[in-house]
């Protein structure tokens, strides 16, 4: 059983995304500077199969043309080449001080994380990529100095991940029950296993999965580390601490 942490570690959701342009190096650097313990981030692939970081399927919400104007039509990340995407501004939508921020590449972020010594958690969107694209991601991680974990929402995905990367950090956010926890305990060493459940608050109310409670928290802590998402208030962090959460995801409204 894992020892209860003195304080709940905090993971920066898409970087410090409440004040900085999400999924950019600016938001990731802020996470390191402010003392977050981990960064959660979302992968996408371009038309020429380059791995970048972006949450939405389209670029419209967070990207602008070089002059700051919005994209005229709905534009998917995989409809543009990397060179075309790098012409866009990924920062100005959050304010003039971020003008010129670019959508980062996988290599840029891995270099940053390796140098900064801050672990990365890749969102489960990675399982929507083709096998060839996942191989691009996994190969780049293998050749970097960054500490990386990968989110899986099924036991089958955990098995596939460990077949490719036997020593990977596993972040499981699928159904939590006796059967899934038993399988996870067989597959993943406790020190490399995070099991995530949603925290019952307004930020997660859109999600229909059961929220963490005392019973599920206790069961998770027997086999690995408990992670909870998405917290925004100090009192929520206190409740998470009482549940024995090891780490909590926040968009930056909670500070280390």
**Domains in the chain, ordered, with CATH?**
9-57+107-250 (3.20.20.190)
Q: Burial letters for 225-235: b for 16+ Cβ neighbours within 10 Å, e otherwise? A: bbbbbbbbeee
pLDDT of 3 reads: 45
Indicate the pLDDT class of residue 2, thresholds 50, 70 and 90. Answer: very low
pLDDT, tens digit, 9 for 90 and up, residues 58-106: 999 999 999 999 999 999 999 999 999 999 999 999 999 999 999 999 9
pLDDT of 7 reads: 86
Q: Count the helices and strands in the chain (H runs, E runs).
A: 8, 10
Cα 203 from chain centre: 16
| Global confidence as pTM | 0.96
Q: How far apart are CA 83 and CA 93, in angstroms?
A: 20
pLDDT, tens digit, 9 for 90 and up, residues 107-163: 999 999 999 999 999 999 999 999 999 999 999 999 999 999 999 999 999 999 999
* Residue 19 Cα distances to 38, 97, 253, angstroms: 17, 11, 9
């Amino acid at each position: 059983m894992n020892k209860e942490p003195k304080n709940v570690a905090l993971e920066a959701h898409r970087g410090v995304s409440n004040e900085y342009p999400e999924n950019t190096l600016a938001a990731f650097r802020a996470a390191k500077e402010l003392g977050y313990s981990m960064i959660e981030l979302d992968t996408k692939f371009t038309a020429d199969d380059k791995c970048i970081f972006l949450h939405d399927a389209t670029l419209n919400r967070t990207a602008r043309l070089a002059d700051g104007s919005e994209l005229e039509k709905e534009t998917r990340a995989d409809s543009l080449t990397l060179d075309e995407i790098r012409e866009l501004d990924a920062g100005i939508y959050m304010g003039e001080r971020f003008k010129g921020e670019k959508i980062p590449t996988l290599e840029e972020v891995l270099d940053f994380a390796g140098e900064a010594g801050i672990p990365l958690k890749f969102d489960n969107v990675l399982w929507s990529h083709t096998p060839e694209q996942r191989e691009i991601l996994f190969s780049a991680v293998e050749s970097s100095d960054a500490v990386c974990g990968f989110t899986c929402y099924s036991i089958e995905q955990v098995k596939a991940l460990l077949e490719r990367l036997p020593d990977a950090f596993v972040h499981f956010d699928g159904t939590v029950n006796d059967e899934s926890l038993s399988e996870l305990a067989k597959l993943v060493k406790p020190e490399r296993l995070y099991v995530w459940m949603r925290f019952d608050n307004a930020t997660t109310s859109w999600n229909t999965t059961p929220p963490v409670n005392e019973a599920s928290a206790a069961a998770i802590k027997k086999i690995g580390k408990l992670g909870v998402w998405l917290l925004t208030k100090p009192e929520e962090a206190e409740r998470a601490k009482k549940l024995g959460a090891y780490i909590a995801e926040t968009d930056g409204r909670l500070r280390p």
